[in-house]
A and B are shown apart, each in its own frame.
Chain A
């Protein structure tokens, strides 16, 4: 595709619910990253995939957060038992290879009521 796309653009959910956020990277990009951006802050790294495997998940805040990339293309970030503190913009980025420039998607704004 022309760029990284993310769906939905906005997600409102209630505390305790489960949510899935989707990222479609640029075609052919093997590296995929998830970040979380809270209001007034810079993006914070969550997890990095090289191909299908999570090469670095050190940024995931706790075990309620999980991400998959089963076919090495689309990725889904999954959040269980959402909390109000999870409210943020979740950004996805992809790169041709790990050392390449990261290209960001428009983000999904998650609001937990």
Chain B
């Protein structure tokens, strides 16, 4: 079955540091890929997504590129802020194909802590 593996946390960085959170996946076909973020005390929010190979999703200074050859979707940000402290989840789903859509398959989450 499908699975998502992301780097273990917590990841602790200083403000303005460069961020990479690794994510790799195992799936049949051509899944869509997502990063969700959960800020303290809040619900899961979609951060960015990519629906086909070589697509780049971007939002709030974060970027991730869908790499089919390495089955990866690493999250990057050039200069993190204290407000980026949160738990980040990599996820995948399969587009509706007439046989029914399916739910998201999530990684375990990476807790990011940004220190001033």
Q: Which residues of B contact A104 (CB under 8 A)?
A: 36, 43-45
Q: Which residues of B contact A45 (CB under 8 A)?
A: 102-105
Q: How large is the interface on A (under 10, 10 to 19, 20 to 34, 35 or more residues)?
A: 20 to 34
- Min CB distance A60 to B, Å, is 11
- Min CB distance B113 to A, Å, is 16
Q: How large is the interface on B (under 10, 10 to 19, 20 to 34, 35 or more residues)?
A: 20 to 34
Asked whether any CB of chain A lies closer than 8 Å to the CB of B17, the reply is no
Please choose the segment from A14-22, A64-72, A94-102 that sits at the chain B interface, where 4 or more of its residues have CB less than 8 A away.
A94-102
* B39-83 vs A, Cβ < 8 Å mask (1 yes, 0 no): 000111110010000000000000000000000000000000000
- Min CB distance A103 to B, Å, is 8
Given A40-B108, A41-B108, A42-B107, A48-B45 contact (CB < 8 Å): no
- Min CB distance B97 to A, Å, is 10
Q: Which residues of B contact A40 (CB under 8 A)?
A: 108-109
Q: Which residue of B lies closest to A46 (CB)?
A: B103
- Considering the chains assembled together, what is the distance between the CA atoms of A59 and B106 in angstroms? 13
Residues of A participating in the B interface, judged by any CB pair closer than 8 Å: 4, 31, 33, 35, 40-46, 48, 50, 55-56, 59, 91, 93, 97-99, 101-107
